[in-house]
């Protein structure tokens, strides 16, 4: 791991020089890096998004925006259906409002007439965003809960000396850190190696800048980073940075195209562990499994899944065949995912809630030898 060691040493030298804050600096002061000696030989990095991954919070964001619109007499309201589209098109709060106002007209408000200059527009956006953040914090209060198995996986990664652990959020620094302090607790938050928010980069997701920053700061190459995201925007940012991405989607992102993800789950499984996640980053051997992550509603779709599994089994290139078939048959992609787990004992069972259809087709993938049923 000489390359990893060299990158880590460089990051440590920068911290010592004051370019990046080093040990003893708490993660609450995002964007921060913590480079203890136990992490200087990290083999890989696990990077989490915040909103939608650590907690399912998008409905609260929408309600907070509508509340601030009412308070400042901005004549707009974002419906749940529209916000699902907007949040999956534009990352970050100010960029969302800038995009929406640009498309629908800059509004009047209690601050005055519609702004006509860039400076006036920026002032309006900053004022609305600041107030929205406070409203959002009030909503979070002590009521928010983390999504299933997130803290278990995060704790396992923090405890592993060869794993660097980070959180990279498109949210404003103030909102992001409030959520993390409320949900993670001080000890867990301070144990993270790097935390970055949308304010810490010039371009927000889907631009890969925030993940590129994490890679450089952690001293871990992008190819050795696994990102946990919930949306297409996050997936695009991770892949754009050269990283692998696992998706745990929400109800508002479930129908997006996640074919470039290495694994897709509606919720992170209870038996998903650190070795399996490390395997998703890259390994010399793997056990592949084919799984349904949503109800299968027709024999046609079940048969399509069988055909896809067979194509993968007969083809030596698991990723290539999967990408080709899913691209050609997007209706199958909504039901069927290629889910790689390294290593895995047995296989998981995914089926409709009513048990109407079930396909269990475990395979062993040996690089250079194609795939075959075990």
* Options 43, 51, 255, 257, the catalytic residue: 51
- Give the separation between CA 338 and CA 263, rounded to whole angstroms: 7
* Options 43, 49, 126, 273, the catalytic residue: 49
Kind of pairing between the strands at 225-229 and 286-292: unpaired
Is 255 assigned a catalytic role?
A: no
Is 51 assigned a catalytic role?
A: yes
Residue 353 has what DSSP assignment? T
Does residue 45 sit in helix, strand or coil?
strand
Tell me if 217 sits within 8 A of 33, measured CB to CB. yes
The H or E element containing residue 234 is: helix 232-240
- Give the separation between CA 161 and CA 274, rounded to whole angstroms: 12
Tell me if 169 sits within 8 A of 183, measured CB to CB. no
Q: DSSP characters for 134-199?
A: HHHHHHHTTT--PPTTHHHHHHHHHH-TTEEEEEE-SS-HHHHHHHHHHHH-HHHHHH-SEEE-GG
Tell me if 49 sits within 8 A of 243, measured CB to CB. no
- Give the separation between CA 71 and CA 236, rounded to whole angstroms: 35
Q: 118: exposed, middle or buried (C-beta count within 10 Å: 0-12, 13-18, 19+)?
A: exposed
Nearest one of 101, 109, 103, 58 to 81, comparing CA atoms: 58
- In Å, how far are 13, 19, 32, 49, 199 from 25, measured between CA atoms? 16, 13, 8, 21, 19
Tell me how far the alpha carbon of residue 35 is from its chain's centroid.
Answer: 23
Nearest one of 373, 367, 292 to 335, comparing CA atoms: 292
Active site residues: 49, 51
């Amino acid at each position: 791991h000489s390359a990893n060691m060299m990158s880590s040493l460089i990051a440590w030298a920068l911290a010592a020089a004051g370019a990046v804050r080093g040990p003893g600096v708490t993660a609450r002061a995002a964007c921060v890096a913590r480079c203890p000696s136990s992490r200087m030989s990290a083999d890989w990095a696990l990077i989490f998004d915040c909103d939608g991954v650590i907690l399912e919070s998008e409905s609260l964001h929408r309600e907070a925006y509508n509340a601030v619109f009412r308070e400042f007499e901005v004549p707009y309201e974002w419906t749940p259906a529209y916000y699902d589209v907007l949040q999956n098109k534009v990352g970050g709060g100010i960029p969302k409002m800038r995009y929406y106002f640009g498309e629908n007209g800059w509004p009047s408000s209690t601050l005055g007439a519609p702004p006509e200059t860039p400076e006036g527009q920026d002032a309006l956006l900053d004022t609305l965003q600041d107030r929205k953040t406070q409203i959002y914090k009030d909503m979070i209060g002590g009521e928010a809960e983390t999504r299933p198995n997130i803290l278990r996986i995060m704790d396992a990664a923090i405890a592993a000396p060869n794993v660097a652990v980070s959180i990279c959020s498109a949210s404003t620094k103030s909102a992001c850190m409030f959520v993390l302090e409320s949900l993670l607790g001080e000890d867990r938050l301070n144990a993270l190696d790097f935390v970055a928010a949308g304010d810490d980069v010039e371009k927000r997701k889907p631009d890969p800048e925030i993940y590129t920053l994490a890679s450089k700061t952690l001293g871990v190459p992008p190819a050795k980073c696994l990102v946990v995201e919930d949306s297409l925007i996050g997936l695009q940012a991770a892949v754009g940075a050269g990283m692998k991405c696992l998706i745990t989607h929400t109800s508002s992102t479930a129908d997006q195209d996640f074919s470039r993800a290495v694994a897709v789950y509606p919720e992170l499984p209870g038996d998903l562990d650190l070795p399996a996640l490390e395997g998703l980053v890259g390994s010399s051997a793997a056990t592949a499994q084919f799984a349904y992550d949503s109800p299968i509603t027709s024999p046609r779709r079940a048969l399509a899944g069988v055909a896809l599994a067979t194509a993968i089994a007969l083809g030596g290139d698991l990723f290539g065949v999967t990408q080709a078939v899913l691209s050609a048959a997007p209706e199958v992609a909504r039901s069927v995912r290629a889910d790689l787990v390294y290593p895995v004992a047995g296989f998981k069972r995914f089926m409709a809630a009513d048990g109407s259809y079930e396909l269990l087709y475990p395979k062993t993938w040996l690089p250079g030898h194609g795939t075959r049923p075990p």
